[in-house]
Amino acid sequence: MSAKIIDGKAISLDIKQEVKKQTEQLKQKGITPCLAVVLVGEDSASKVYVNNKKKACDFCGITSISYELPESTKESELLELIKKLNQDKSINGILVQLPLPKHINENHIILAISPQKDVDCFHPQNVGTLYTGGKCFLPCTPAGILELIQRSGYDITAKECVVIGRSNIVGKPVAMLLLRENGTVTICHSKTKNLHDICKRADIIVVATGKRNTLTRDMVKQGAIIIDVGMNRNEEGKLCGDVDFENVKEVARAITPVPGGVGPMTIAMLMKNCLTAAELQSYC
Ligand code: NDP
């Protein structure tokens, strides 16, 4: 039997509609959530991402303010802008679109953003809070993955979860969230031996390698749930993931497509974090 296709577009729309409703309620109390979006340089993919984030803000009723800075912007100038945004009470969230031009140190920028406005959850304070089990913003892509699994009706408790990839933005935080939901988690990477055998025993597999066909049908247990984070191009230039979708869907219980799976969730979770930021700051 072919797998259920987990529809990230539909689930992300549900979440954005929930955020829209809660934003309207917050506005009735005189609070309008506001996100500052900072783009440095001319990277065309970054421009598309930033545009999509602004559109999502419009949909949810969240104000977005854009700062589009030239490629030649100095690190000190960007730090100055962030300082200003940190102090500005009308700004609830700050998003600096990565990657930044090479002459700007991304770590310096991430560290400069106030943890209370760090809606991407990249600041070490928020990352630490996530790892120690406290309450903080959840990183957008990993949180979106959790929503995809849970809103599709699958329980994570006691499940064998395998995460392929150990990056700071996807692999590690998604492993931490699965652990928090009581999964038994194994993290794999490019040096892992017996990836095939490790995957074969998994109930849930999250693949985030950026390499096509990392996960093939022979590696998947009948009835497993497969989340494909990858964004690659095939020979025809078509967007595809890290999973051999056509063959794996024949053995999996549920699977996310690319496009239309994890991708739309990232922005929906960003909207959720903006709302949370505005709510939390309204108590201060
Ligand atoms: P990184 O390149 O930072 O990390 C890739 C990870 O995969 C590394 O830990 C690497 O291991 C591991 N890896 C690579 N090849 C293999 C292999 N053959 N077997 C096992 N492990 C392997 O990527 P990201 O985590 O940033 O992103 C992963 C993918 O997800 C990309 O395609 C990216 O575009 C996509 N993405 C999608 C998002 C969305 O919203 N849909 C958001 C973010 C990312 P090692 O550490 O040993 O090098």
- Distance, in Å, from the CA atom of 214 to the CA atom of 75, rounded to the nearest integer, reads 37
Which residue from 102, 98, 124, 96 is spatially nearest to 37, judged by alpha carbons?
96
Question: Is-catalytic flag, 28?
Answer: no
The binding-site residues of ligand 1, defined as CB within 6 angstroms of any ligand atom, are 141, 164-167, 169-171, 188-192, 195, 208-211, 214, 229-232, 262-263, 266
Number of the ligand 1 atom closest to the C-alpha atom of 191: 47
Q: Which atom of ligand 1 is nearest to the CA of 208?
A: 28
The one catalytic residue in 116, 117, 118, 120 is 120
> So what's the pLDDT on residue 144?
98
CB contact at 8 A, 142 and 122 = no
**Nearest alpha-carbon partner for 22 in 250, 284, 268, 245:** 268
284 residues of the chain, pLDDT tens digit each? 799 999 999 999 999 999 999 999 999 999 999 999 999 999 999 999 999 999 999 999 999 999 999 999 999 999 999 999 999 999 999 999 999 999 999 999 999 999 999 999 999 999 999 999 888 899 999 999 999 999 999 999 999 999 999 999 999 999 999 999 999 999 999 999 999 999 999 999 999 999 999 999 999 999 999 999 999 999 999 999 999 999 999 999 999 999 999 999 999 999 999 999 999 998 77
